[in-house]
């Protein structure tokens, strides 16, 4: 069949399936056919690697490594599993290797002393994930988490507390909805091992769950009003007004800095001190990250970083600061304002 000729997307007797044609051409060295095969999976593989690692940049690198490994090993793909499952196997094992390598990083010193307003927690190499980069496919029927819940910052942070194999098992089964046998095949282990890892992972994850009121729907009048008031207060440097927008038990985190601030008093001191050090209020531009409202932040018109808000009811329950001047540009926001 000519490469650009009509192709059927349905398999069956006497019918050549389009994927089969591309697979045979790719095995013969056709890079365009390989790109056609794997492109539909690129975004979901990147999100998968991000969930396991918490880093967008690491996830991007791992997807490139995964596709390169798939290209080089394509002749070894025997079609015992689906192409999607085979790609997830490669991406998962690359991610597990990266997690092991990350464990060799020098530890970040945690100088925060626990108190009623400060809590020492492990450092997290977390980065925000742009909503515009989220894939469309819905999770499988065996998934336990809704797609929106499974991308939120609090969920990604909780995942990072799990041992690597437990983390992978939970993402494959409870987030993506792979059947146990298929998840075991991806992890190259037994279904019994997956079930045991899953039981331990669920128990740990439950201990990190924070009960919150239902957040307003994205772009609803309640959310728009809250975010408009919040951004006005930030740009005015009005800490007192910001504190009125926080929930009764708010927190502030600043990955990868270890520790978090708890309560209005500690957060107010932090915001006032930050404004004093910067010497000018932040300017903000709205965006969305991890299914949550977010702002690109600028200092004297130059990029400074981002903040992501976790809402509870009509209040802000958590503010996560990411101090990285490169972030606003990665979210399609202006390089300067």
Fold of 14-106: Rna Polymerase Sigma Factor; Chain: A (1.10.1740)
3-class state of residue 2 by DSSP = coil
- Domain at 137-209, CATH class: mainly alpha
3-class state of residue 15 by DSSP = strand
Same CATH fold assignment for domains 14-106 and 137-209: no
Distance CA 275, CA 281 (A): 6
The packing angle between helices 42-53 and 56-72, to 10°, is: 130
Q: Please work out, in degrees rounded to the nearest 5, the angle formed at the alpha carbon of residue 49 by the alpha carbons of 45 and 51.
A: 115
CATH placement of domain 221-330:
3.10.450.50
Task: Please state the pTM of the whole predicted model.
Answer: 0.87
Bigger pLDDT: 13 or 317? 317
Over the stretch 210-246, which tens digit does the pLDDT of each residue have?
889 999 999 999 999 999 999 999 999 999 999 999 9
Residues 21-39: what's their mean pLDDT? 90
Bigger pLDDT: 4 or 211? 211
Strands 246-253 and 315-322: parallel
pLDDT band, very low/low/confident/very high, at 196 (cuts 50, 70, 90): very high
The edge-to-edge listing of strands for the beta sheet with 260-262 is: 118-119, 260-262, 246-253, 315-322, 302-312, 292-299, 282-289
pLDDT at 206 over 50: yes
Please tell me the predicted confidence (pLDDT) of residue 27. Answer: 86
Find tokens 């994927």 and name the residue.
Answer: 19
Distance CA 321, CA 91 (A): 29
Find tokens 């996560």 and name the residue.
Answer: 320
Beta bridge partners of 316: 246, 311
Tokens, residue 97: 């290797």
Domain coordinates in residue numbering, the chain: 14-106, 137-209, 221-330
């Amino acid at each position: 069949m000519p490469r650009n000729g009509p192709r059927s997307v349905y398999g069956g007797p006497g019918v050549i399936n389009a994927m089969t044609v591309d697979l045979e051409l790719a095995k013969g060295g056709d890079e365009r056919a390989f790109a056609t095969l794997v492109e539909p999976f690129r975004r979901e593989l990147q999100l998968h690697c991000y969930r396991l690692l918490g880093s967008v940049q690491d996830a991007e690198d791992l997807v490139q490594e995964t596709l390169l490994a798939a290209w080089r090993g394509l002749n070894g793909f025997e079609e015992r599993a689906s192409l999607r499952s085979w790609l997830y196997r490669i991406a998962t094992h690359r991610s597990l290797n990266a997690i092991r390598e990350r464990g060799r990083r020098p530890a970040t010193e945690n100088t925060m002393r626990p108190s009623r307003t400060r809590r020492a927690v492990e450092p997290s190499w977390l980065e925000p994930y742009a909503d515009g980069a989220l894939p469309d496919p819905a999770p499988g029927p065996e998934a336990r988490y809704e797609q929106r819940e499974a991308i939120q910052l609090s969920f990604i942070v909780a995942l990072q507390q799990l041992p690597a194999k437990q983390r992978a098992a939970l993402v494959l089964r409870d987030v993506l909805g792979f059947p146990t046998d298929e998840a075991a095949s991806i992890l190259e282990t037994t279904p019994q091992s997956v079930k045991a890892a899953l039981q331990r992972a669920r128990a740990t994850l439950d201990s990190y769950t924070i009960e919150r009121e239902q957040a307003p729907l994205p772009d609803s009048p309640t959310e728009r009003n809250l975010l408009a008031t919040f951004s006005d207060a930030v740009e005015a440097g009005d800490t007192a007004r910001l504190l009125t927008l926080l929930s009764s038990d708010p927190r502030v985190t600043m990955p990868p800095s270890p520790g978090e601030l708890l309560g209005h008093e500690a957060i107010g001191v932090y915001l006032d001190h930050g404004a004093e050090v910067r010497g000018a209020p932040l300017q903000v531009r709205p965006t969305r990250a991890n299914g949550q409202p977010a702002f690109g932040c600028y200092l004297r018109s130059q990029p400074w970083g981002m903040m992501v808000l976790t809402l509870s009811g009509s209040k802000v329950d958590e503010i996560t600061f990411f101090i990285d001047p490169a972030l606003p540009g990665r979210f399609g926001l202006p390089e300067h304002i």
